[in-house]
Structure 1
Amino acid sequence: MSERNHEVIKSQQLLDEYGNIAEPGWSRKQLQQYSRTQIKAPKFRIKEWDYYLVVGDDCAVAFTLSDDGYVGLQPVSLLDFSGEPWEHTETRMLA
């Protein structure tokens, strides 16, 4: 699977038996089944996050909810595309 923009089209486990991505790529809907127990790493090294982006014509807002194993982060970014573009990010850390 060396194609850079490969589309995953079948439902499957996200990770293979070795803990690697079974089929790298993107999908139009949630096809990959994720199970934390398949990760071959200590719990403190597991990084999990959800990323949401809401985009309009002139602005956008991005939210990330992450668990980095030893700390949680909740950044929110505001982006303005009108006039002179700017971006501002605020992050809340949960220890």
Structure 2
Amino acid sequence: MSRYAPTIHTHQADIAALEALLPQLKGQTQVEVTLKDGTRVSGTVAVQPTVQQYRDADENEGTNGELRLDDLNDPAQQHLLWLDQIASVSELPPHP
């Protein structure tokens, strides 16, 4: 069964931009992610994301990836973010 993403990317420059985020999102790193719409989300990277192949609503195949962040204040709350929606990543000092 194929996985679906709201947006997929097929141009090499767009895929390279997604891949450039990966070193900043290592597993168990605490980060603040700023999304392209200005929303900020802080949490612990559950597992380093990867870029993968997805299909869009029109069944076109392309690349994207998902980031799972466990909320810093409530680790039971998870945030699932699409890599192409991330504008920037800032590493945070360890949270007590």
TM-score computed with the length of structure 2 as normaliser = 0.29
Q: Max radius of gyration: which structure?
A: 1
TM-score computed with the length of structure 1 as normaliser = 0.29
Q: Looking at secondary structure, tell me which structure has more helix per residue.
A: 2
